[in-house]
Structure 1
Amino acid sequence: MLTRALIVVLAILNLGVALWWMLRGEPAPAPPPPTTGVAQLQLLPATASAPTGASIASTPAAALDDVTPAPVPPPAAAPAQAPTAESPAATAVAPAPVAAPPAPAPAVAQAPAPVPAAPAQCVSLGPFTDRAAAQAAQAKAGGTLRGARLREVADAGATRYRVVLPAAASREDAQATVKRIVAAGLSDYYIIANGEETNAIALGQYRNREGAERRMAALSAAGFNARLIASGGDGSAQWWLDATLAPPADASVARQRSGAAQQRSLDCARVR
């Protein structure tokens, strides 16, 4: 019962507040802010006595307060000047100077390419009958030769040369040596079957001594001790002078100075 009474009281209070809000008057609008630069009218209180005409005439500024700022006169325009010869308008626009083309850079002198040295030439001069004659020829040649060495050629009249390994004790030993030769990568061999050189191993026959000596060098490098047998000669020995030609001398000049009867081109690797 008490709760219902409280609800009725609250409803009545809310209704009263709503009626008061609707029936209240609109608030008076606030006066607008004073405008700058405009004279303001001031009202005197009603109880004050009205001023006399003379006072109003003598003091008009007392009733009205004019705060309007005085206008600023515009600046006077500068008089127009006629264009002179020195003014930019009268000055003729001169064309821009054309830049001269750059001077060509001086050519850089290039050093001449080095001339490749001519390959060395080697020669063999001879034959001489003995070592003393070969030494005398070397002295006569003088500065035309350099790095000279003497070389003896046995059995100068030989027409062929054979390279042979000494005879083995048996056929089986000779065949074992042949297997070693094959393993070393050598070829051109056979076992002599009869005669004084039975079981010897022939390793080639050559018409010139140089080829036979190259064969012996290959066998020696492989570990075989071969020998050179010349045939068809008289058994006499000759001497040759092997050297490198000193430029600008040539082989004919060196031969004439040394007194040699022959000259032969030679591989320079044999002279070193």
Structure 2
Amino acid sequence: MSAVPSAHPVAGAAAPVVTSSLEGGVATLTLARPAQRNSLSEAMMAALTSALASLAVDPSVRAVVLAAEGPVYSAGHDLKEIQGHRGDADRGRAYFEDVLKRCSQLMTAIVRLPQPVIAAVEGMATAAGCQLVASCDLAVAGEQARFCTPGVNIGLFCHTPMVAVSRNLARKHAMEMLLLGEWVGADEARRMGLVNRVVPAGEALAAAQGLARRIAEKSQVPVKLGKAAFYAQAELGLDDAYAYASRVMAENMLARDAEEGISAVLAKRAPVWEDR
């Protein structure tokens, strides 16, 4: 975990924009710019992308929780950074394309991370912040959490958040969020499919870590194969999806832990996982 930004920076060093901790196989990454509403600045996106890359190859990490400090989970892109490039010779086009590419790479890094990622949301998640939640595999929200894709209200449709949101919600629910740009409360977000569970305010992190610990107890062979397969088959037609899933399941059946798990069921005993 040494490559992941530390929650305890050395004396004199700049405070990290993302902090990390690891306990019982569960890594918790925390957005740590509450004064800036945890906006997805260039520094924040770089830190998150780097942290995820380190977690992806760390065998001690079995699940990841993505939390945030302060009353705002994430306000999306740093609008001051964006506006600062309006004076560029191309009116900011090259910068806009680059920053959106980096944001997209961050979101796909979450989806492609071998370990499941659970968002722990308190407060507001708006625009690319809502996209961040939608990109996670699971999401737990405090009862006062709110979600919004408000770009349409400022002349800027939430095109890139749309990609993640539309892959979580039914089309009409997604279009409602994108066209109206209105706040959606935690209970409504759960009904729409954006979050899995709603808990009392202030308890989202503990609840998300609880889910992560339950995942961490399982063999990592089916968890990692299953997460990758879930997203891959979702992009295929029905016949191709079944063919692909059958190949992956056959591979899974050959794993030592699958043999152990089936043997344990037949012997009516608890399985002993080796993660292979």
TM range (shorter): under 0.3
Which has more radius of gyration? 1
Normalization by structure 1: what TM-score? 0.18
Larger RCO (CA under 8 A, 6+ residues apart) = 1
Which structure features the higher share of helix residues? 2
TM-score (norm 2): 0.17
